[in-house]
Amino acid sequence: MRILRLVLLFMVLPLFAFNGAHKFYISVTNVDYSEKDEAVQIITRVFIDDMNTVLNERYGFPANLGNDKESVTDKEFLEKYLRTKFLVEINGETVKYDFIGHKYDSDMVICYLEVPNIPLAELTQIGITDEVLTDIYDDQQNVVHMKVNGQKKSHVLVKSRPKGMLNL
């Protein structure tokens, strides 16, 4: 029995040796409504190395997000990139959001965004267009979870289908 296990191990082990770790290109965004603040609040998480790569390729800026060399310019380019690739619609109209800030957790950059002054009684639809990183990674997936007033919807947004909606 032991010999059979060893033979099986030696037959299967080479299969794993040639199956290198595949890097996944994914971001996760949570969209919630705060009744207390009357605001749509958004938290988006993206891998730091991917964001640094896209800032370098898109703007020719050698970004240093998440390390000791990070500067105010890094934050400015991060916000600039998000504003071109991450759009919010309220009731069918594209709206401007506030970039509250960002922080790091392990290998992720977490960005905080907010659309203020949105009374719940007037909110009928939220749309998110998320093209973050799709300009450099064709297999990028941007997962968006929306939750407003007890209604939930999740979307996997990709390059060919970058927009998700929640109708209330």
Q: How far is CA 3 from CA 7, 9, 14, 27, 73, in A?
A: 6, 10, 18, 45, 61
User: What pLDDT does 20 receive?
Assistant: 41
C-alpha 100/C-alpha 102 separation (Å) is: 7
Give tens-digit pLDDT for 14-51: 444 444 443 778 999 999 999 999 999 999 999 999 99
Q: Which two tokens stand for residue 117?
A: 């002054």
Residue 150, SS3 per DSSP? coil
Which residues share a beta bridge with 51? none
Q: How confident is the model at residue 122 (pLDDT cuts 50, 70, 90)?
A: very high
Please give the single-letter amino acid code of residue 60. Answer: G
Least confident range from 5-9, 22-26, 112-116, 144-148: namely 5-9
**Predicted TM-score of the model (pTM):** 0.85
User: What pLDDT does 50 receive?
Assistant: 95
